[in-house]
Amino acid sequence: MGDSMKYPTGINKQFKQALNHSNRGMPLENDINTTNEYYLFNNIAVIYKKPTPITIVKVDYASNHETTIKEAYFTKPSTTDYNGIYNGWYIDFEAKETKNKTMFPIDNIHTHQIKHLSDIIDQGGIGFIIVRFTTLNLTYYLNGSKLLEFIKVENRKSIPIDYFKSNGHIIKDGLNPRLDYIKIINEFYIKGEKRRKV
Amino acid sequence: MGDSMKYPTGINKQFKQALNHSNRGMPLENDINTTNEYYLFNNIAVIYKKPTPITIVKVDYASNHETTIKEAYFTKPSTTDYNGIYNGWYIDFEAKETKNKTMFPIDNIHTHQIKHLSDIIDQGGIGFIIVRFTTLNLTYYLNGSKLLEFIKVENRKSIPIDYFKSNGHIIKDGLNPRLDYIKIINEFYIKGEKRRKV
């Protein structure tokens, strides 16, 4: 699907979000999923995207011996979309795209998700966001601590791209892995330390 | 819901599984969710149940300004139901009930999920299963390593309850937290070691 999917005009914002949640129309998600598959296949890390949270209202089990969900609604996620483990380190992040060229609107990330990243950091996990400025074709890693710091200190609704430049890290496009965010974590945050052992 | 939900007779197995997946009719899941809420509220651990994986086929966005899923199917999960972090340790597990009094049928856990637990252990995470023998009202913690060992060594379709007795740990029913599985992990596996620090 990706970019090629056409939306009807006048489409409401919630539907767009819903589509994003279900992983359509967002190339960044595909890139991350591909990267995670690479990590998994090569025993580098085990990181998955969580399923889209929904509330099921009506289920039809009679037809065709296959259970069909006939009515359900998208639910606001209380956590981030991705989590897993790398060399004993708990990994947790949210990924967002913006068409904006100069800043990232914070309301792209729900309050619950920001609280969740804060919880994760308190527990000793690696929490962060990946933000792609699609028009500029730039993808940034921003550590959770830096995101929380910005929100705490600044009274602004958007994070300027300069903040990403100064406090984050560019994730370069690659062939395989497509978006090597583990490299950033390894280089800048855990410095190669392995916590494997139970 | 829990026990009080009535199923029509002649209901197919897949539907029952689907209901279990969506957290109805399984008191063990409610106990674990309550426990996780306790852990979260008291800053002990951050552990969530993943949403039920589904494949969305048809979405109606026109009616009522609310996006409605009109056709979707349950998908086999490729990972376990629960994961999160405790004191820097990555936690990952699956929870199952059985009415059987003497053994736990292994096919309750998908091959993908067993492979996933193995991956997690390889990465230095804490992977395990929680199995409740409902008729006996006994809930066991069985470490992933012991589950994998059984599958590797024994050519059997079920794990006898004695194996749980010898290699697992009873999780006692409590008021709050309801099922303190973190206590087991702490006492027997990580011995109080904190890995908080990033």
pLDDT, tens digit, 9 for 90 and up, residues A45-102? 999 999 989 999 999 887 666 889 999 999 988 899 999 999 999 999 999 999 999 9
* Closest CA relative to residue A42, chosen from A82, A86, A89: A86
Mean pLDDT of B20-46: 85
Point out the residue among B67, B87, B92 whose CB comes nearest to the CB of A74.
B67
> How far A61 CA sits from the closest chain B CA (Å)?
6
Asked whether the beta carbons of A47 and A90 are under 8 A apart, the reply is: no
Q: Decide if B82 contacts B118 (C-beta within 8 A).
A: no
The burial of B6, by beta-carbon neighbours within 10 Å (0-12 exposed, 13-18 middle, 19 or more buried), is given as exposed
pLDDT at A141 over 80: yes
What is the percent of chain A with per-residue pLDDT over 70, rounded to a whole number? Answer: 84
pLDDT at site A88? 95
pLDDT tens per residue across span B106-160: 999 999 999 999 999 999 999 999 999 999 999 999 999 999 999 999 989 999 9
pTM metric for this prediction: 0.86
Among A52, A93, A196, A198, the strongest candidate for a mutation testing the B interface, having the largest count of B CBs within 10 A, is: A198
- In A, which residues are within 8 Å of B61 by CB distance? 11-12, 14-15, 18
**Cβ–Cβ gap B52/A48 under 8 Å:** no
Among chain A residues, CA nearest to B121? A198
> Does A177 sit behind a cis peptide bond, omega within 30 degrees of 0 on the bond before it?
yes
Instruction: Output the furthest CA–CA distance in chain B (Å, rounded).
Output: 58
Q: Which of A15, A43, A83 is opposite residue B61, by nearest beta carbon? A: A15
Does the predicted interface ipTM exceed a cut of 0.90?
Answer: no
Our CA angle for B138, B143, B149, nearest 5°, is 115
Task: Kindly identify which residue of chain B lies nearest to residue A11, measuring between CA atoms.
Answer: B61
Q: Which of B22, B40, B88 sits opposite A56 (nearest CB)?
A: B22
Q: Which residue has the higher pLDDT, A20 or B102?
A: B102
The per-residue pLDDT of chain A, averaged, comes to 87
Over chain B, what is the mean pLDDT? 87
CB contact under 8 A, A67 and B195: no
Task: Collect all residues of chain A within an 8 Å Cβ-Cβ radius of residue B89.
Answer: 90
Structure confidence by residue, pLDDT tens digits, B145-186? 999 999 999 989 999 999 999 999 999 999 999 999 999 999
